[in-house]
Amino acid sequence: MGRAMLDATNTQKTLVTVRGLKMYFPIHSGFLRRHTGDVKAVDGVSFDIYEGETLGLVGESGCGKSTCGRALIRLYEVTDGVVTINGKEIAKANPQDLRAMRPTMQMVFQDPQASLNPRMTLASIIGEPLIEHTKMTKAERQARIYELMDAVGLNRSFVNRYPHEFSGGQRQRIGIARALALNPKFIVCDEPIAALDVSIQAQVVNLLEELQARLGLTYLFISHDLSMVRHIADRVAVMYLGKVVELGPRDAIFADPLHPYTEALLSAVPEPDPSLENTRERIILKGDVPSPANPPKGCNFCTRCPKVMEMCRSIEPTYREVQPGRFLACHLYDQNNTSAGSTSGIEASQKHVQQGELQ
């Protein structure tokens, strides 16, 4: 359904709105635990996710992808910014309102073994959200558990087994069933296939696509597997050192990457055709990723960028729309006047966040 979705995104309802999202972790030192700085894991991220689509979030390990996903559904207390899901403010909601919103947003975690309580049976794991958020009777709850097991392809005879009795793929199916228990609108998939065997990865991704088509789900699909993102995502956002540097339709991003970091990232994806693999150019970035506790002045990517200019070292590029539906933070397109004089809705909203107008 991904390709058909691309043509509809402009007219679709926006389900998730993120403006100026920041997630900083304080650094303390010494006996008195003095605050000496912050790790800027997510630093001013803005994007929208449309109802029924899959937004792929990609980048190197440590770029802030998982932190961003957790912050969206407030598994972390957000440092700053605005996050709304289905029109309801998440980032600053009080505990009572947040609890009422929980059924609409769920998460599938990266490690299916660590995310399941080893002392709980499958029935207890899937049934726990139903106990917490519904008034179902025991019989109704049991029927719903069986319904969810059928939906994710688990045999009903497994209902009283413990997590250690399942394979990795089966454990991830349990995690997906738990996420679906309360009929959510939005699911954050945090590298849901990274811990699985290659032979199982396709099964889990196909299951996610099937459930999305049947239930009308919306996904934020976080992954470092670009080939899988190309398969499942409708649009792709590229993160580097806590910031989104490029966002656009999947086919456009993979066919014509604009940001130098996106070019380097995609050049690492192997081609199945040996003749093409032998002729294509691999872009190898020099140096290490800077520390998110002390990011470079100007553009975060300036220390490794093969196309760096002098202005990149002192002026932070503005994240804006450079082509219809494509957002970018790069001075190369300032110089080329690709979108001279234009200001995207996201850029305008960032200004409003800074001015406190979207509180």
What's CA 87's distance to the chain center, in Å?
Answer: 19
**For residue 283, what pLDDT is reported?**
84
- A 10 A CB-CB count for 238 gives 27
Asked if 264 and 315 count as a contact pair (C-beta separation under 8 A), the reply is: no
CA 67/CA 255 separation, integer angstroms: 28
Side by side, which strands form the sheet with 54-58? 105-108, 186-190, 218-222, 54-58, 235-240, 243-249, 326-328, 320-323
Task: Please give the chain's pLDDT, 359 residues, in tens.
Answer: 443 344 444 567 999 999 999 999 999 988 888 988 999 999 999 999 999 999 999 999 889 999 999 999 999 999 999 999 999 999 999 999 999 999 999 999 999 889 999 999 999 999 999 999 999 999 999 999 999 999 999 999 999 999 999 999 999 999 999 999 999 999 999 999 998 888 899 999 999 999 999 999 999 999 988 989 999 999 999 999 999 999 999 999 999 999 999 999 998 877 776 776 677 778 888 888 899 999 999 999 999 999 999 999 999 999 999 999 999 999 998 854 443 333 343 443 344 333 333 33
pLDDT at 284: 83
Eight-class DSSP state of 268:
T
pLDDT given at position 11 = 65
| C-alpha of 84 from chain center | 15
Measured distance CA(82)–CA(87) in Å, rounded? 11
What letter would DSSP give residue 316? P
Residues 145 and 159 sit within 8 Å (Cβ to Cβ):
yes
Closest CA to 62 of 270, 240, 196, 311: 240
Nearest Cα to 230, choosing from 25, 49, 13, 56?
56
8 Å CB contact between 179 and 104? no
C-alpha to C-alpha distance for 221 and 187, rounded to whole angstroms: 9
At residue 10, the pLDDT reads 52
In the prediction, which pLDDT does 69 show?
96
The helix or strand, by DSSP H or E, that contains position 2, with its residue range, turns out to be: helix 2-6
Kindly report the CA angle at 207 between 203 and 212, in degrees rounded to 5? Answer: 150
The answer to whether the beta carbons of residues 217 and 184 sit under 8 Å apart is yes
Rounded Cα gap, residues 93 and 164, in angstroms: 37
The model's pLDDT over 161-176, given as tens digits with 9 standing for 90+, comes to 999 999 999 999 999 9
Torsion sign over Cα 273, 278, 283, 284: positive
What is the rounded distance in angstroms from the CA atom of residue 229 to the CA atom of residue 219? 12
DSSP 10: T
Q: Which amino acid is at 28?
A: H
Q: What is the C-alpha separation between 138 and 165, in angstroms, rounded?
A: 25
In whole angstroms, how far apart are CA 223 and each of 36, 231, 281? 32, 12, 23
- DSSP for 160-206? T--GGGS-HHHHHHHHHHHHHTT--SEEEEESTTTTS-HHHHHHHHH
Residue 133: its H or E element = helix 122-133
